[in-house]
Structure 1
Amino acid sequence: MKLAILDRDGTLNALGDGFIASAADWTPLPGALEAVARLNHGGWHVVLATNQPGLGRGLFDAQTLVAIHAKMHRQLAALGGRIDAVFYCPHAETEGCNCRKPAPGLMEQIRERYGADGDEILVVGSCPAHLQAASELGAQLHMVCTGRSAHLDPLQPLPPGWPPGTRAHASLGDLVDSIATQPAPP
């Protein structure tokens, strides 16, 4: 099974002012949804793993989060793409849970749900916490220079804090381009 685990904010959508608190705040990054559709057409299952501390802090409710993701799903469907599942941590930063990235809880839940081996998993994000959460899986780690990493150059070495073996790409679309040019396994 080919499984791609994406961060949401900064990877699929613009960061907004602080956090995304309504469906109106959710705006996809240029080319990101098309890249997800291309992953799907290439046989990849695509799942989101996202921290949503606004729930734990009472800044928005679960119904609002569902509305945000419904907008995302509609826009993806219009392009022939899909997100198979959304896994999220609802806890505030101070709650000390195992599912808030960089803790590995969400990634472990996804791997168990899909029964995927580490080498079958592609993990993509724009912040170190997302990739740190996946580093123990043996997954392929990919950083995109969008969101919190928009200031980075994918051709330069990554700054400290990124897990070893992380590969950098200008965008999710560029990552998908690189996958499409790799030879199929025997």
Structure 2
Amino acid sequence: MSKLIILDRDGVINQDSDSYIKTVEEWQPIPGSIEAIAKLSQAGYLIAVATNQSGIARGLFSEQTLQAMHEKLLSMVNDAKGKIECIVYCPHGPNDTCDCRKPQTGLIKKIESALKTSAINAWLVGDSLRDIEAARKAGCKPILVKSGKGLRTLKTYPAIEAEIYDDLADFAKVLLSQDH
């Protein structure tokens, strides 16, 4: 039984924007997401984040700014007595040929390597078709949350093959209730 949970970032952990999250100030957690990560990590789950960040390739923000956003996230989770084991990201644009941009599985492979664990049967929580496709390709259990772009994804792909939750806090509550 895998104790690994891979989270998409924008729309799952923090508020998303069609014009990208470009500054540390714009990076705002979705209510309940930080506490959900803390509860999951306290329950023994390894939490990893895999995020496409094409805003870097588009010149909208720098890798230093992205690093500062991730430090804010790690600090908030730490303050809530939780832990994120690793954060991996794809800095490429949609037209770059890379193996890391979801729905490719390069980010998941990076997580497996960093944490020396398999992502087979790990949960992958996302808000887009790309997340669900990456989960399937990597042998993960796909979870779609309605936060972020999740409702739009569900409307476009009503037959999407994934467990569906309102948001990360809802997923965490259900998963932790099944543990006992």
> What TM-score comes out, normalization by structure 2 length?
0.90
Partner of 1:28: 29
Shift of residue 116 of structure 1? 1.8
The residue type paired with residue 169 of structure 2 is G
Partner residue in 1 for 2:88: 87
Q: Which of 118, 122, 134 is 2:120 aligned to?
A: 118
Q: Which residue in the other structure is 1:159 paired with?
A: 158
Map Cα deviations across residues 161-181 of structure 1 (whole Å, 9 max, x no partner): x3x3x1001111111111112
Partner of 1:95, secondary structure, is coil
Deviations 1:39-76 (A, max 9, x none): 00110111110001111122211111111111111111
Q: Determine the C-alpha separation between the residues in 1 that align with 2:34 and 2:179.
A: 24
Q: CA distance change for structure 1 residues 96 and 177 in 2, over 3 Å: closer, same or farther?
A: same
Say if 2:173 is the partner of 1:182.
no
Question: 98-107 or 143-152, which moves further after superposition?
Answer: 143-152
Measure, in 2, the Cα distance between the counterparts of 1:84 and 1:173.
Answer: 19
SS at match of 2:50: strand
Q: Distance in 1 between matches of 2:165 and 2:44?
A: 21
Q: How many residue pairs get matched?
A: 177
The amino acid across from 2:48 in the alignment is: V
Q: CA deviation at 1:117?
A: 4.9
AA paired with 2:36? A
Q: Which runs of 5+ in 2 are unaligned?
A: none
Indicate if the aligned counterparts of 1:7 and 1:125 stay in contact, CA closer than 8 A.
Answer: yes
The 8 Å contact of residues 16 and 25 in structure 1, kept in 2 or not, is answered as no
Structure 1 portions without partners, runs of 5+: none
**Given the alignment of the two structures, is residue 168 of structure 1 paired with residue 160 of structure 2, yes or no?**
no
Q: 1:182 to 1:65 in 2, by over 3 A?
A: same
CA–CA distance in structure 1, aligned partners of residues 133 and 153 of structure 2 = 18
Q: What is the aligned partner in structure 2 of residue 72 from structure 1?
A: 73
Superposition RMSD in Å: 1.9
Q: Identity percentage over the alignment?
A: 34
Quick one: distance in 1 between partners of 2:153 and 2:110?
30
Instruction: With the length of structure 1 as denominator, give the TM-score of the two structures.
Output: 0.87
CA distance in structure 2 between the aligned counterparts of 1:58 and 1:117, rounded to whole angstroms:
32
Distance, in Å, in 2 between the alignment partners of 1:69 and 1:180 is 25
Name the aligned partner's letter for residue 170 of structure 2.
Answer: D
- Asked if residue 99 in structure 1 is aligned to residue 95 in structure 2, the reply is no
